[in-house]
Amino acid sequence: MDWDDLRIFLAVARAESLSGAGRKLKIDPATVGRRIARLEEAMGARLFSKTPQGYGLTEQGTRLIAHAERTESAIEGARDSLAGPEGLTGQIRLGAPDGCANYLLPQVLARICDANPGLEVQIVALPRVFNLSKREADMAIGVSRPTAGRLTVQKLTDYHLHLAASRDYIANHPSITTPTDLQAHRFIGYIPDMIFDKELDYLSEIGLAAPPLASNSVSVQLNFLRHGAGIGVVHDFALPAAPELTRVIPEQIHLTRSFWLIRHADDGRVMRLNQFAQQLTLEVRKEMQRLEAFS
């Protein structure tokens, strides 16, 4: 079996189309189709079934993908073992929720790249769970620990959240001294049916109704608050980026959550990813401590 055929098989499985795989591999879709047909003939099994939605794995294809991913990781690990001692190099794609991606990761990754000039890091900021099996990212940061899939998971750090509003809003609306007073105020939060993880359902935990102003983006929510639109739950690590905001009854309402670093199980043998994960964990913890102390 040819590794190049397996590489094309993985690309089709992840893109669920010949054209998507072709774009990723920079080869013609017709060539991708011929290579898949050649692999299926060599394996004596049909690996994909074509549907209106694209190319889906058959039962035989599903069994093959785990072996193909292990081969992929072994080859990348072999490349790493031959790399020089000049530091981390190459491209790493990191998925993260947008609050983390906007207010925590930029300065962390800037320091890591300063220390490793040959390294390229891409942040994919999406308000949803990442699919590492499709290689949407090399690793991802999540707000809850996955319980299924061939993944390795480690805690990055805890973080804290409080209610906050702009000083102008506080000055021009009824005073808030107890949680009961919150009922007289307008709230900002997530769009209820777009909350992709139960850990983000902050307002329900506090006992508040669905907000009249909502977004699936933490950054949009923060800008609502900065412009005096109401009260919302804010990450403490984001408060230094929004000096217009002040906490609201922080002694009475506060939340604690965790960030988790999630990786594909087979990537444990890839030294470059291991080293990046170690540096990321160290720098995230240091930066979280600095930002939360500042806020």
pTM: 0.73
Q: What is the pLDDT along the chain (295 residues), one digit of tens a residue?
A: 678 888 898 888 888 899 988 888 889 989 998 989 888 888 888 999 988 878 888 988 888 887 887 787 777 766 665 454 457 888 999 999 999 999 999 999 999 999 999 999 999 997 666 666 666 789 999 999 988 878 899 999 999 999 999 999 999 999 999 999 999 999 999 999 999 899 999 999 999 989 999 999 999 999 999 999 999 999 999 999 999 999 999 999 999 999 999 998 878 778 889 999 999 999 999 999 999 998 7
| CATH 1.10.10.10-classified regions of the chain | 3-81
> What is the reported pLDDT for 264?
87
Q: How far apart are CA 254 and CA 190, in angstroms?
A: 17
**CATH fold group of domain 92-155+258-294:** D-Maltodextrin-Binding Protein; domain 2 (3.40.190)
Fold classification of 3-81 is: Arc Repressor Mutant, subunit A (1.10.10)
Cα 142 to Cα 177, 215, 223, 231: the distances in Å are 34, 19, 23, 25
Instruction: Give residue 130's pLDDT.
Output: 61
Give ranges for CATH 3.40.190.10 in the chain.
92-155+258-294, 158-256
The CATH superfamily label for domain 158-256 reads: Periplasmic binding protein-like II (3.40.190.10)
The residues facing 262 across adjacent strands are: 140, 153
CA 289/CA 291 separation, integer angstroms: 6
Report the alpha-carbon distance of residue 45 to residue 34 in Å, rounded: 15
Q: Within 13 Å and on the Cβ side, how many CA atoms surround 41? A: 6
List, as one string, the DSSP characters of 38-100: HHHHHHTS--EEEETTEEEE-HHHHHHHHHHHHHHHHHHHHHHHTS-SS---EEEEEEE-HHH
What are residue 141's DSSP bridge partners? 261
Return the structure tokens found at 259.
Answer: 């960030």
